[in-house]
Structures are given as C-alpha cells and as structure tokens.
Amino acid sequence: MRFLVLFVIALNLYSHPLNITKMTLDENKSTLFMRFAIFNIYKAFHKEEFNKKQVTNYILKHIKISNCKILPKKIVVRNEIVVDTYFDLQCKGIYSIKFNLFFDFDKTQQGVLKVISDKEKVLIFSSRKEEYKLKNKQNQFILFLKEGIIHILEGIDHIFFLTMLIVSVLFKHLKLKYSIFEIIKIATAFTISHSITLSLSMLNIITPPDKIIEVLIAVTILFVALNNFYNWFSKEWKMAFIFGFIHGFGFANALREMNVRLDNFIQVVFGFNSGVEIGQLFIILVLTPILFILKSDKILKIISIITILLSILWIIDRIFSLHLMPF
C-alpha cells in the first residue's frame, strides 16, 4: 500500500515517470545533475534501506564520461519520492557518455540528458542506445580523422573484405611490385565508391536501413571470398568499386552513431573519410607483405575458406539479430 501511495504522490507532485532518469550536464559550469524515482533504488538494492555512499557508488558504476572525473557533491532525497544527485566534473578533451542506470533490471528505463554548452542538446539513453560521443572544441577535421582511423581498425568485417581482395590478387602469383600496383588500384576504386555513398547518406539523399547494410556488407565478404575459387570477376578493382558503395553506407551509419550534427559537413565527412583511408592503407601495408611471404595456393585457400565460414555466420547473425558474433 505504501508503494501505491508514494507512486501516486510522485506522479502528482513531481510529474516524474518512474522509469526515466532526468539529467543536466552543464559544460560551462562543469556540473552534472541527476534525478530519479527512489523506487528504482529500492529495486536495485532489493531493500528500502540504503545510505548515500551506496547510492553514489551505484550511480558511478552506471554512468561513464571518458576523460572526466565525476566528483560526488551531494544527494538529496525529497519526500521519500525522488532522489536528486549533484556532481562536479573535471574533464579534459573530447568525451563520450555511457549511461545504463537501472537498465539491468528494467529494459524500459531511459535516461534523458540535457547538455548545456554553446548550444543545448538532448540525448536519450535506453537499453538499445547506451552511449553517445559528444563534440568538443577540437578541430572537427582532426577529431573525425581519428574516429575514421579507429573505425576501420576496429571494423573486423571491413578488414576481412580488404584481406580477401588482397588474397585474390596474390592468387595470380604476380611479382611483389605488380601485386602492390593492383592493390593500389583496388584501394583507389574502393575509396571512390564508398566516398560517394558516405556523402549521399550523410546528406540524407539515400539512407537505406542499417540492418540491410550490415547484412549486405557480410554478403560482399562472402562473394569476394568465393570469387577466389570461381573467378567471377577477373578484375578485383571492379569488385572493390561495386561493393564499396555498400561499405560507404556502413561508414555513414558509424558516423550517425556518434550523434554528429553536420554543422560543418566538409570537415566532418572529409575528416572521417580520410581517417578511413589512413586506416585502410595501414591494413594493406601490414597484410600485403605478410601474405606475400606466406603465399601458396593451399594457404590462400585456407584463408578464403575461413572467411567464407565467418561471412556466412555474419549473415545469419545479422539477419536474425542474434548478436552471437563477438565482432
């Protein structure tokens, strides 16, 4: 009965939904405010008694701001209904925010964060979207150049795609300098096509669904790996050009996940794309000599078969949203 009474009071006095944590991050004052219903603490601790240190520790486990120290200031419990928490921030450079407070026991929970800086913006956290990357005053080109490099180096599917194209060239048993020349043609063709779709997507001219693109990226890997056996395309740069259009949409999806606003389209997109190219060049420079030294039809076929199996698993995993693949 007590819970029911408090529930009604909470809704009327504070108009505060029980499954929403309201937050304000003021970059100018370096402060963070957070308000949530006390019922959520009861559920989290499985009891109605707690001390403020326990609450602080629990909160700090579920909100992370990179390159920032979150310093507890005070906690106020109002009418046994809501909890107000106050923090000071010490931040350096760009930061991202990850928030999943109460998500572990209630998937309907949300966090609504108002960020106050030069401009105000609101971020909505949920069990499907726990992290945002925020802009800072760094040069946008340099900032997204770094993001592009990180994205391609962490993108295992893109790396496998490039690897299969390199393997396809090495199957021809060309001399190293001719192999490198062919791989440069592949990289150039791939760059041209994915730059086109990346730009079109970020300008909202063509925006195919994310899930379809992720499946198609896996299909491109499967196709290129199979081509090593069936030789449907004798010119690898043509495959790279055609399939680069699909990968470009994938790169655009990654940019959107960073919650970017294209106030400066050229710096953001060109910076990110340049980062992708630097990362791609690094992959090529590392893999090509290694594969060239190890090359033999047997080894190249084994690498291709492993990639075929992985790409099939990727396709199944992405079609049915199984999330079983670790990458």
**pLDDT for the residue numbered 135:** 60
Number of CB atoms found within 10 A of residue 293's CB: 8
**pLDDT for the residue numbered 160:** 94
**pLDDT for the residue numbered 226:** 96
**165 token code pair:** 């194209």
What confidence tens digit (pLDDT) does each residue in 271-302 have?
Answer: 889 999 999 999 998 998 888 888 888 999 99
Q: Cα(272)–Cα(200) distance, rounded to whole angstroms?
A: 14
**pLDDT for the residue numbered 112:** 92
Number of CB atoms found within 10 A of residue 218's CB: 24
This model's pTM is above 0.75: no
**pLDDT for the residue numbered 9:** 44
Pairing of strands 31-37, 82-91: antiparallel
What confidence tens digit (pLDDT) does each residue in 119-139 have?
Answer: 788 888 998 889 887 765 556
Cα dihedral: 178, 245, 282, 300 (round 10): -50
**pLDDT for the residue numbered 79:** 84
Residues of the chain with pLDDT under 70: 1-16, 93-94, 135-139, 257-263, 326-327
